[in-house]
Structure 1
Amino acid sequence: MSGAVEQNRRIALAKLFEPRRLTLPRGITSVCSAHPLVIEAALRRAAREGQVVLLEATCNQVNQEGGYTGMTPADFRRFVEHIAETIAFPVEHIILGGDHLGPNPWRTLAADEAMARAEVMIVCYVEAGFEKLHLDTSMGCAGEPPALPDEVTAARAARLAKAAEDAAKRAGRKLPVYIIGTEVPPPGGATHALNELEITRPEAVLETLAVHRSAFAAAGVEPALARVIGIVVQPGVEFGNTNVALYKPDGATDLISALDKMPGLLFEAHSTDYQPAAELSALVDGGSGILKVGPGLTFALREALYGLDAIRQALAGRGASAALSSVLEDVMVANPGYWSGHYAGTAEEQRLQRHFSYSDRIRYYWLDKKASEAVESLFAELPEQIPETLISQYLGRLYPEVIAGRVSPSARALCLAAIDTALAPYSAATAPR
């Protein structure tokens, strides 16, 4: 990594952390989830490390219409701060971000209507105190091609930036920092098997910055460009339903060189879920100072919940309640909207993907009333001290932590530990050196 790339990353992170910086890390993990256990695990890890935590809500999760969580941006802020207060985590060490903010939730509508709703959404995010905004207008709306020309994407991003800037000034909020990009991976991972990824070309990154500079000037928000801290690119990282494309630094050498010509900017790496610590560290070395993760964390939570359910079945024998997976299967089949467009193949292949896909579309269903009641019943039916031998059998990755006394053998603690295990490689990759 060149000295210029490292300096650019540090400058961008300083803008993101200001004024609450503790120790400026090499990078930061962006936790993109609305699950309370995931948020709690992220806060607990940040507390142990003495670091700021970046929590992001996506446009589909949280918007003025409620999203799939039923929460507006203001609701999400209260939700996060309640969890923080419960575990005595200082709320001033939380940075809230909005991910993929743009017309995506309304892309089946005409562009004018979809963008009008996106403007309302971004205003709600700013008014609720979200400080980091990812402007994503890269998708086509009704009657448009799936991918838009860079100039159109940039003009729409500038339109949203103007709405955000005006809202911040009206509300007396801190002016936000922005992430831009025109080659943005789809939220939640790829829907197809991964063979060869096309890494963003360096000239494409420079063109992205140039067209946004022109668009921001035309929209009268040129000062906001100074608060653009990063660009979303494809460095060669992605996951599909059944496989993961691991980062190969040698393939991204040309892309990384583009940062030498973009003072003060870093790359924001999406879909980094399931990357090992060495690959995550290499991403940071290559200027990707923000590592986004979401499905990988709820995937780890689902593993823990299904392992705990197997323990319940073993303890109860013939008197066991219905398996948690059976309840979730019924819930997902009854409401297929969140997975049917993402899982292909035979009925049996789709069933396996509903529960075990890397894209983890099951995460959309944990807040369903039947699903949440099933999890509550699972926790209630397990003993306070789960036998170590059963933890070894069904939650083997957590067994060493349990017998060492670092993790309590209770259901809730084991779920938090499973999520924390998925977060650990990110801490290793982004920690100060």
Structure 2
Amino acid sequence: MSGNILQSIADWRSRSGPSGIPSICTANSMAIEAAMRCTAPTALPLLIEATCNQVNQEGGYTGMTPGGFRNFVEDIALRVGFDPERLILGGDHLGPNPWKAEPAEAAMAKAETMIRAYAAAGFTKLHLDCSMGCAGEPVALDDAETARRAARLAAAAEKARPQGGVAPVYIIGTEVPIPGGAMEEIEGLEVTDPEAALTTYDIHKQAFAAVGLTDAFDRVIGLVVQPGVEFGNHNVVDYDPAAAADLAAILPQMSGLVFEAHSTDYQTRDALRSLVQDGFAILKVGPGLTFVLREALYGLDAIAEELFPGTRDRTLRQTMEAVMIGDPRNWDRYYHGTGAERALQRHFSYSDRIRYYWPAKEAEAAVSRLFTLLGATPLPETLVSQYLGRLYPDVRAGLLSSDARSLAIAAVELLVDDYVAACAE
């Protein structure tokens, strides 16, 4: 891939071909495989992003460094037969967030080390997010300090990127709700004020110029805003084009930019299409991918109990419950209510915090046992209808094999297809 294909994304709507791009934010191998299989027949490149908490120089919660994540994704591409030249790797929320409990200078030094690792590993889409306060600072910083710190990280990335490689593009700004979805039910959202968006853009432009990064700022292609989409533990706020009309109208004032929409998980295909048409050309999806994968795995878990009752000491769901109870750090403060209500959320919340536990050894072993038990032979159509109903029509029509692994991958493909359709049509 010569040059950075995302550099011209603001012009995509005015020419034939894709109008936007999905951003696949996951480190789950089956979800990544599904995204590759779904994207392969289209004209889209495949953008896969890792967050600062997932992947960093200390390993993040996946245990992978940026270089390790790149190898992980490329290994999947090799196995699936996906052209690695069509891959774009991105880093999301790159900033001091993993170390925000430390003093600002210490946290920023670690953030610099992190973004250098991302840039050196060939990640070519970098979201600069320094909006959060560190120890002794306000929870959220003002625009000026946020922009100064973002420019500092851009400078580190510019120095670390491989000579002769593809120059990275940058995303600036941050959405109001926390990454990965809100923690409770949401009744409504305030769309980003257009003047606030323009101010964010202008202040970042000044901050980059102040440290001699005018060329790097020319590669800022996106601004993260809140278009009025979000999900909590229990509900989803759908996109309302009318409510975002004033925000969408300012895009022409920021030459070469599109909006990046976070937390688009669980939006309908029509809503996703409307977002792209309105200039929210980068659609980030993360928990939604592993939510539908968990649905499929639990459906297969139930089918295994129908076909082979009592064969396993624990079902997959029972294993996941034990793993989460044994390590509550990733769900305890996010789920509220009675014991029964929290138990329900552990498995079925839209925020899908169970996704943090699939890499656990016990979880990986349980999934492996499930696939081994069900084997590669087709499962009964009637059980697919009962427990994996959304996949039944394609199985019934002979378009989808009903073996366990194919069904799990297909469940994620159904979701990714909504994003591909919204961006490629």
Map of 1:211-290 to 2, 5 A cutoff? 211-290=203-282
Distance 1:37 1:17, change over 3 A: farther
**Alignment deviations for residues 341-386 of structure 1 (CA, whole Å, 9 cap, x no partner):** 2112222211111100001000011010000000000111114211
Aligned to 1:66: 59
Aligned to 1:200: 192
**Alignment deviations for residues 266-288 of structure 1 (CA, whole Å, 9 cap, x no partner):** 00000000000111011011100
> In the alignment, is residue 139 of structure 1 matched against residue 132 of structure 2?
yes
Once the two structures are TM-superposed, the CA of residue 320 in structure 1 deviates from its matched residue by 4.8
- Which blocks of at least 5 consecutive residues in structure 2 are unaligned? none
Aligned length: 418
Distance 1:76 1:63, change over 3 A: same
Cα distance in 2 for residues equivalent to 1:385 and 1:182: 45
Once the two structures are TM-superposed, the CA of residue 322 in structure 1 deviates from its matched residue by 1.5
Q: Secondary structure at the match of 2:249?
A: helix
Task: Kindly indicate whether the alpha-carbon contact (under 8 Å) linking 1:127 and 1:173 is maintained by their aligned counterparts in 2.
Answer: no
Cα distance in 1 for residues equivalent to 2:176 and 2:147: 13
Aligned to 1:6: none
**Alignment deviations for residues 71-112 of structure 1 (CA, whole Å, 9 cap, x no partner):** 000000001101101121110110000011111111111111
> In the alignment, is residue 360 of structure 1 matched against residue 352 of structure 2?
yes
Cα distance in 1 for residues equivalent to 2:98 and 2:29: 23
Aligned to 2:29: 36
Aligned to 1:5: none
Cα distance in 2 for residues equivalent to 1:116 and 1:24: 41
> In the alignment, is residue 308 of structure 1 matched against residue 300 of structure 2?
yes
> In the alignment, is residue 25 of structure 1 matched against residue 18 of structure 2?
yes
Amino acid at match of 2:134: C
> In the alignment, is residue 96 of structure 1 matched against residue 69 of structure 2?
no
Distance 1:317 1:12, change over 3 A: closer
**Alignment deviations for residues 239-267 of structure 1 (CA, whole Å, 9 cap, x no partner):** 00000000000001111111121111100
Once the two structures are TM-superposed, the CA of residue 334 in structure 1 deviates from its matched residue by 0.8
Distance 1:17 1:205, change over 3 A: closer
> In the alignment, is residue 323 of structure 1 matched against residue 315 of structure 2?
yes
> In the alignment, is residue 149 of structure 1 matched against residue 137 of structure 2?
no
1:345 to 326, 333, 337: 337
Task: Kindly indicate whether the alpha-carbon contact (under 8 Å) linking 2:7 and 2:221 is maintained by their aligned counterparts in 1.
Answer: no
Amino acid at match of 1:81: E
Q: What TM-score do the two structures reach when normalised by structure 2?
A: 0.95
> In the alignment, is residue 85 of structure 1 matched against residue 78 of structure 2?
yes
Cα distance in 1 for residues equivalent to 2:242 and 2:280: 15
Q: Which runs of 4+ in 1 moved over 2 A?
A: 11-18, 171-174, 182-185, 317-321
Aligned to 1:113: 106
Q: Secondary structure at the match of 2:40?
A: helix
> In the alignment, is residue 165 of structure 1 matched against residue 165 of structure 2?
no
Once the two structures are TM-superposed, the CA of residue 321 in structure 1 deviates from its matched residue by 4.0
Cα distance in 2 for residues equivalent to 1:27 and 1:49: 13
Aligned to 1:209: 201
Amino acid at match of 1:418: A
2:367 to 375, 386, 409: 375
Amino acid at match of 2:135: A
Task: Report sequence identity in percent.
Answer: 58
Task: Kindly indicate whether the alpha-carbon contact (under 8 Å) linking 1:190 and 1:239 is maintained by their aligned counterparts in 2.
Answer: yes
Q: Secondary structure at the match of 1:398?
A: helix
Amino acid at match of 1:280: L
Distance 1:55 1:28, change over 3 A: same
Deviates more, 1:392-401 or 1:174-183: 174-183
Q: Secondary structure at the match of 1:95?
A: strand
Task: Kindly indicate whether the alpha-carbon contact (under 8 Å) linking 1:15 and 1:227 is maintained by their aligned counterparts in 2.
Answer: no
Once the two structures are TM-superposed, the CA of residue 404 in structure 1 deviates from its matched residue by 1.2
Cα distance in 2 for residues equivalent to 1:155 and 1:182: 15
Task: Kindly indicate whether the alpha-carbon contact (under 8 Å) linking 1:304 and 1:414 is maintained by their aligned counterparts in 2.
Answer: yes
Cα distance in 2 for residues equivalent to 1:261 and 1:172: 32
> In the alignment, is residue 402 of structure 1 matched against residue 395 of structure 2?
yes
Task: Kindly indicate whether the alpha-carbon contact (under 8 Å) linking 2:175 and 2:262 is maintained by their aligned counterparts in 1.
Answer: no
- Which blocks of at least 5 consecutive residues in structure 1 are unaligned? 1-10
Cα distance in 2 for residues equivalent to 1:12 and 1:200: 27
Cα distance in 1 for residues equivalent to 2:49 and 2:148: 24
